């Protein structure tokens, strides 16, 4: 084959079109322009994203958790606080343990080896083994030296008062978020705000350098309650013992400071331990004093008597005929437990006469009664800022029939919570004013206004502090009755606690007391259960210059005694005795042998209900 010289190659001899050269040059130029533009976009215009991605490979953001605020009683006693609690976790793919180590680890975690194995199978990268364990458990787990098992520092809530204050304080969940009570109501204030810290870590996870500004954590604020831990504990013990004594279903106690409107105690039984909620039932969880409503029964009678006095229809010694102890009204019969004959208005309350109360009430227009009940807070939600508070039931007066107006005068046909009844009775304790209530400790200025100081002088006798000490400053209330009417009703309430009244067992050594019993059949469906009752007592002490209002309710006493004067009044007496002593209130009566709140110490007049 003949050789072809390079210079005479036909391929070189062929002329290349100029458009092809231009196309190639343009394509190369465009490619370089795109690369240059992309480089400018990454390095200059939109470099934040890539800088962040790079930083993520060596920078870490460490959360600085805020400490949850403490909950304290009015005297600074601890009700809830956070304490360190280690949590155990594992990386299942790194988990290595002998059979003995696995068995011991499961025992320490309070689970079976099978449960532990199942938990480790959930996720190969991370599983919680047990959160917020005791320090000694964490130490024993660490001593096992099981590969892949680690501990993390967390915190858990501690509740020193336990079940006594559970329904007020509430509790948090495992993530430290409020679930019930004050923990829920003030969760945002208690939680605070977490801080953060930006650091550079090496490949082993060690902090090498701080970068950027550190944002410090803001701890949650402390919540100072109006509750007195000692009064709360005593109230809980007394209602717990009463429920056991009378084989009852449940019970509640509310203690209010009639001067300041502060809640000193709010106890329920059954209760629960906030730090151990295993097997917790709904019955234990219910804050009955605030969430349960019932027909208030005879506790409404003093309100009717008070309005009859206030409107000038009667005087305390006006005669009300009640014989023969029955009253026919629109085809229905209203009865007393037994006939009393002619009674004064004072005796109508002392003997708890249904007939006498109805005769006073039927002189009023339905609108008057409705406005009276509404004025003392019935049908309105108490302004506590507390979860679960109920309004009760008070129907519009225009829908009342005559017989309904009559039964509402002695507490049937409407409903209220025990807390609402306690607040309603502040109108008698505070000379006719309904006192606003609070679960938070009231902060009074060091120098009270002149008007408040004038009121303080009036209440100084009830405070009973040491010589020279100032008493609490009365909080302004809403006028419902005149002072004269309130004092007249207080005298009636004191007569209820006399040997001739329905609650002699409410008497307290050294202090004058007054109050009203209540007993009612429990509702079942559309009717009333014949053998199920609620018993309660709402009272004031000292009656001469009131400082506290105490309300007691016992649900379904089933030990043969169910009248409020025999079931709830003794609890009232015990709570009053300790509370007034705790507050430093001086006795207003000579200490002498009297009827005291002991089973069988006095036979009460049977109340009508």
CB 73 within 8 A of CB 229: yes
Decide if 417 contacts 438 (C-beta within 8 A).
no
Closest Cα to residue 554, out of 519, 527, 515, 594? 519
Q: How far apart are CA 435 and CA 258, in angstroms?
A: 7
Annotate 354-402 with DSSP letters as a single string.
HHHHHHHHTTS-HHHHHHHHHHTTTTS--S---TT----B---GGG--H
DSSP 99-160: HHHHHHHHHHTTS-HHHHHHHHTS-SS-EEEESS--HHHHHHHHHHT-BTEEEEEEEEEE-T
Q: How many CB atoms lie within 10 A of CB 316?
A: 17
Asked if 83 and 158 count as a contact pair (C-beta separation under 8 A), the reply is: yes
268-to-67, 339, 580 alpha-carbon distances in Å: 30, 37, 21
Structure tokens at 608: 């009508």
C-alpha dihedral, 169 to 174 to 178 to 179, nearest 10°: -80
Q: Is the peptide bond before 585 cis (omega within 30 degrees of 0)?
A: no
Q: Do 547 and 583 form a contact (C-beta atoms < 8 A)? A: yes
User: Other CB atoms closer than 10 Å to residue 256's CB: what's the count?
Assistant: 28
End-to-end CA separation in angstroms for the chain:
135
42 DSSP 8-state letter: I
- What are the angstrom distances between the C-alpha of 173 and each of 139, 157, 247, 447? 24, 9, 33, 42
Residues 71 and 169 sit within 8 Å (Cβ to Cβ): yes
* 228 neighbors 246 (Cβ within 8 angstroms): no
Total residues found in the chain within this entry: 609
Q: Is 298 a catalytic residue?
A: yes
CA distance 537 to 299: 8
- Determine the Cα–Cα distance for residues 155 and 130; give it in Å rounded to an integer: 13
Q: Cα angle at 432 between 551 and 410, to 5 degrees? A: 55
Tell me which of 226, 252, 271, 298 is the catalytic residue: 298
Q: Residue 45 corresponds to which tokens in the numbers above?
A: 């215009």
Q: What is the DSSP string of 504-548?
A: GGG-BTTB--EEEEEEEEEEETTEEEEEEEEEEEEEEESTTS--E
DSSP three-state, residue 198: strand
Distance CA 28, CA 140 (A): 70
Separation of alpha carbons 56 and 49, rounded Å: 11
**Which of these, 385, 390, 473, lies nearest to 437 by C-alpha position?**
385
* Residues that are catalytic: 298
């Amino acid at each position: 084959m003949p050789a072809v010289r390079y210079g005479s190659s036909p391929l070189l001899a062929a002329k290349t079109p100029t458009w092809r050269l231009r196309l190639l040059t343009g394509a190369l130029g465009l490619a370089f322009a795109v690369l240059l533009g992309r480089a400018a976009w990454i390095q200059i215009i939109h470099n934040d994203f890539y800088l962040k991605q790079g930083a993520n490979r060596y920078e870490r953001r460490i959360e600085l958790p805020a400490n949850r605020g403490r909950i304290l009683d009015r005297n600074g006693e601890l009700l809830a606080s956070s304490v360190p609690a280690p949590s155990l976790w594992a990386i299942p793919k790194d988990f290595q343990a002998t059979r003995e180590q696995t068995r011991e680890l499961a025992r320490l975690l309070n689970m079976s080896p099978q449960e532990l194995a199942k938990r480790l199978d959930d996720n190969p990268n991370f599983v919680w083994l047990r959160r917020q364990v005791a320090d000694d458990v964490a130490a024993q787990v660490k001593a096992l030296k099981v590969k892949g098992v680690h501990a993390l520092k967390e915190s858990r809530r501690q509740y020193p008062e336990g079940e006594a204050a559970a329904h007020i304080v509430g509790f948090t969940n495992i993530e430290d978020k409020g679930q019930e009570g004050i923990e829920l109501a003030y969760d945002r204030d208690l939680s605070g705000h977490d801080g953060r810290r930006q650091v550079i870590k090496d490949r082993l996870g060690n902090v090498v350098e701080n970068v950027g500004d550190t944002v410090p954590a803001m701890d949650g604020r402390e919540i100072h309650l109006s509750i007195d831990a000692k009064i709360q504990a005593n109230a809980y013990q007394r209602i717990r013992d009463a429920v056991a004594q009378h084989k009852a279903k449940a019970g509640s106690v509310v203690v209010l400071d009639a001067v300041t409107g502060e809640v000193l105690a709010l106890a329920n039984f059954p209760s629960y331990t906030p730090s151990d909620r295993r097997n917790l039932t709904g019955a234990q969880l219910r804050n009955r004093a605030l969430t349960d409503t019932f027909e208030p029964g005879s506790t409404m009678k003093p309100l009717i008597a008070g309005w009859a006095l206030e409107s000038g229809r009667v005087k305390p010694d006006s005669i009300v005929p009640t014989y023969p102890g029955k009253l026919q009204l629109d085809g229905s019969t209203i009865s007393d437990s037994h006939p009393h004959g002619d009674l004064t208005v004072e005796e109508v309350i002392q003997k708890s006469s249904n007939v006498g109360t109805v005769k006073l009430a039927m002189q009023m227009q339905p609108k008057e009664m409705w406005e009276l009940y509404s004025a003392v807070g019935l049908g309105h939600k108490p302004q506590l800022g507390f979860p679960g508070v109920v309004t009760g039931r008070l129907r519009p007066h225009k829908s009342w029939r005559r017989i309904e107006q009559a039964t509402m005068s002695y507490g049937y046909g409407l409903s209220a919570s025990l807390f609402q009844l306690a607040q309603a009775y502040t109108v008698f304790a505070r000379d006719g004013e309904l006192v606003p209530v609070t679960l938070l400790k009231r902060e009074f200025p060091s120098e009270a206004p002149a008007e408040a100081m004038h009121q303080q002088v009036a209440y100084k006798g009830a405070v009973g502090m040491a010589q020279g000490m100032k008493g609490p400053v009365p909080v302004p209330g809403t006028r419902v009755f005149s002072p004269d009417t309130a004092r007249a009703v207080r005298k009636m309430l004191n007569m209820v606690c006399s040997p001739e009244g329905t609650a002699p067992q409410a008497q307290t050594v050294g202090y004058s007391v007054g109050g009203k019993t209540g007993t009612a059949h429990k509702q079942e469906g559309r009717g009333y259960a014949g053998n199920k009752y609620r018993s309660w007592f709402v009272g004031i002490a000292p009656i001469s210059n009131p400082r506290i209002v105490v309300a007691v309710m016992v649900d379904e006493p089933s030990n043969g005694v169910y009248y409020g004067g025999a079931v709830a009044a003794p609890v009232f007496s015990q709570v009053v005795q300790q509370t007034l002593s705790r507050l430093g209130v001086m006795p207003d009566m000579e200490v002498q042998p009297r009827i005291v709140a002991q089973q069988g110490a006095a036979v009460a007049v049977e109340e009508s209900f």
